[in-house]
Amino acid sequence: MSNRTERKGRYGVDGPGWLFGLCAGVAAPLLAVAAGGPRWLLRIPPVFAAPAGLYLHSTLRGKFLVWEEQLDALCLSGDEHVLDLGCGRGAVLTAVARRVPKGRVTGVDLWRSVDQSGNDERATTDNISRAGIVAETELVTADMRKLPLESDRFDLVVSSMAIHNIPGAAGRGAAVREAYRVLKPGGRLLISDILHTSDYLDVLHTTDAVNISRVGAGPRMWWSGPWVGTAVVSAEKPPAAPGPGPGEPSHPDPNEND
């Protein structure tokens, strides 16, 4: 059964500078004409109107719908320990926390408002409260490239529209490797992003990850158009090898005959 409920919280907009630029492309020519500028400027707003509309839909509605579907498909049991990398104001964090009422959710971020409007730890805490989250939650201020978290800790690691903000391929690769490091054996990784997702695949292929895939999220997460679409990268960490059974030695006796 789906865990979708009415969203309660204020989650801002992603990449506010990009949205401002698109909206300015619509408004500035109109204002210029209104002030007596040349009428040929009226040809400019339609060029920016559709991309601005798609961007607004992606940040205010589309990304929520995509993540609801992605999380539903995981069929979580409800007691998982989950990590949200680059949690921002908690859009994905609160969605996953609804699905793990007996579990625990940890959010990591550096709280940069250039990446998300009003991105602040207090705003995230307020959204957690507004959502009426039952699961235990924890917020950690940390760099995704060097997580202050132990290995093999989380059943699920998610990240939405965050890793691409890290400068340099080496830095983004480090974040993906850290995400994989903290997964428990048998744990799952789910990353949605707009850029560099093929590089994330390459990084995961250097690990022992299995069931690695990359699929497009579709028009609901087009950030101005298909040229800035979102892809979802997923992978799993193999389960731990079974230990010896009762009465069996943990290591074979090298002197034992075949």
Same domain? 81 vs 193: yes
Total structural domains within the chain: 2
pLDDT average, residue stretch 162-166:
95
Same domain? 83 vs 24: no
Q: Would you state the structure tokens that stand for residue 29, as one six-digit string?
A: 């020519």
On the 0-12 / 13-18 / 19+ scale of CB atoms within 10 A, 235 is: buried
CATH number of the domain encompassing residue 201? 3.40.50.150
Same domain? 65 vs 94: yes
Is 195 or 135 the better-scoring residue by pLDDT? 195
pLDDT for position 1: 38
DSSP category for residue 250: S
pLDDT for position 134: 76
Is 252 or 203 the better-scoring residue by pLDDT? 203
- Convert the pLDDT of each residue in 217-234 to its tens digit: 999 999 999 999 999 999
Closest of 111, 120, 170, 110 to residue 144, by C-alpha: 110
Closest of 257, 248, 231, 238 to residue 66, by C-alpha: 231
- Has residue 34 got a pLDDT over 80? yes
Same domain? 109 vs 217: yes
Domain range for 33: 16-51
Residue 158 φ then ψ, to 5°? -125, 155
- Nearest-angstrom CA–CA distance, 217 and 232: 6
| Residue 167 maps to a domain | yes
Q: Which amino acid is at 49?
A: A
| Residue 244 maps to a domain | no
pLDDT for position 8: 74
Same domain? 93 vs 210: yes
| Residue 7 maps to a domain | no
Contacts of 93 by beta carbon, 8 Å cutoff, 6+ apart:
84, 87, 105, 107, 124, 128, 137
pLDDT average, residue stretch 124-146:
92
Same domain? 69 vs 41: no
- Convert the pLDDT of each residue in 38-48 to its tens digit: 999 999 999 99
pLDDT average, residue stretch 184-213:
97
pLDDT average, residue stretch 161-175:
96
| DSSP SS3 for 21 | helix
| Residue 247 maps to a domain | no
* C-alpha 187, offset from chain centre: 16
Please give, one letter per residue, the 3-state secondary structure of 102-151.
CCEEEEEECCCCCCECCCCHHHHHHHHHHCCCCCEEEEEECCCCCCCCCC
pLDDT average, residue stretch 70-80:
97
| Residue 228 maps to a domain | yes
86 confidence band (pLDDT: 50, 70, 90): very high
Same domain? 115 vs 213: yes
Q: Would you state the structure tokens that stand for residue 90, as one six-digit string?
A: 């908690």
| Residue 142 maps to a domain | yes
3 confidence band (pLDDT: 50, 70, 90): very low
- Has residue 247 got a pLDDT over 70? no
